[in-house]
Amino acid sequence: MTLQGKSVAVLIAPRGTEEPEFSKPKQAIEEAGGKVTVVSFETGVARTVNSDLDEGGSYTIDKTFAEVKADDFDGLVVPGGTVGADKLRGSGEAIGFIRAFFDQKKPVAAICHAPWTLIEADVLKGRSLTSYPTLKVDIENAGGTWVNDEVVVDNGLVTSRDPNDLPAFCAKLIEEVAAGVSAGLAAGK
* Contact call for residues 81 and 112 (beta carbons, < 8 A): yes
- Which of 1, 31, 11, 38 shows the shortest CA–CA distance to 108? 11
Containing 103, the helix (H) or strand (E) segment is: helix 92-103
Torsion of CA 33, 132, 100, 86, to 10 degrees: -110
* Contact call for residues 123 and 143 (beta carbons, < 8 A): no
CA distance 94 to 9: 12
**Among 24, 89, 113, 161, which one carries the catalytic annotation?**
113
Active site residue 166: no
- Residue 8 sits at φ, ψ, to 5 deg, of -125, 130
**Among 10, 39, 111, 112, which one carries the catalytic annotation?**
112
Active site residue 170: no
22, 70, 90, 184 from 9: Cα distances, Å? 11, 9, 19, 22
**Inter-axis angle of helices 92-103 and 82-89, nearest 10:** 80
- The residues annotated with a catalytic role in the active site are 112-113
